[in-house]
Amino acid sequence: MAKIKVGIAGCLGRMGQELTKRILEDKNFIFVGGFEHKAHKKIGKKISDATNIQSREVVTNNASSIFKNADVVIDFTTPQSTLSNVKIAGNTKTALVIGTTGITKAQKNKIKSFSKKIPILMSSNMSIGVNLLFDLVKQAASSLGGNEYDIEIAETHHKHKVDAPSGTALSLGEYAAKGRKTSLDKSKVLDRTKNLKKRKNGDIGFSVTRGGEIAGEHTVSFISKDDRVDLVHKANNRSIFVSGALKAAIFVSKRKSGYFEMKDLLKI
């Protein structure tokens, strides 16, 4: 297999640094550089001077230059940055892997529109284990009926995470709703403090915890009056997201266009 040239959006962020390290170590890839937003303090510095990563590449704010040199760009940034990056990818015909969370339905539809020109793989969670969990949640929700089993989704992340509930938690809710043949918009309950009333059959409740440096923990509970079934995934560190993103990069590098999710890669 020819080496895949990869660029990193948000290369100095937590995931950006983890991805850069792994790409430099992996013989399947060539690191062509990374970029940051224009106001970043370390623009113009070598990556090795800005981090503990040994790379002579300079941190740039010229995203287009990275897209032009890359076969694939991996983007774990913010929704607004991702929308900007997908437009550039469309112009340069560069494949894109998106792990950004907090993306709205309208933004997702906009991103999908570019997949007619380029291959895009987007997932709220790049972990193979979590993507298996999505499928298990759908099956469980289908088997454990809404008149008997209440669904509650709890998630915990590091204190730096801005969006809440996490994109993964919302995706778990979507799969639970699919299993019940309904929509998450109709059944989700994000805040029980505004309307003080008892739980309705079919509600999908969410709870959020932020603290420390927890990479990510998600629990989907199916609770009846007689028993409880918990489906749990705990990420010990970010390496599982990096591994998934690199598998995704290999996958999209072989496509000319189209919109994909991790389930397409895993054939779930």
Catalytic residues: 157, 161
Query: Angle at Cα 102 formed by Cα 184 and Cα 258, nearest 5°?
Result: 85
In 3-state terms the chain splits into helix, strand, coil percentages (rounded to 5) of: 40, 25, 40
* Bridge partners (DSSP) listed for residue 219: 154, 232
Per-residue burial over 154-175, b if 16 or more Cβ lie within 10 Å, else e, is bbbbeeebebebbbbbbbbbbb
Q: How far apart are the first and last CA of the chain?
A: 25
Q: Cα(89)–Cα(121) distance, rounded to whole angstroms?
A: 13
DSSP, collapsed to helix, strand or coil, labels residue 107 as helix
Provide φ and ψ at 212, rounded to 5°. Answer: 60, -140
Q: Are 165 and 206 in contact (CB under 8 A)?
A: yes
Residue carrying structure tokens 């489906």: 231
Residue with tokens 């997702």: 108
266 burial (CB, 10 Å; 0-12 / 13-18 / 19+) is middle
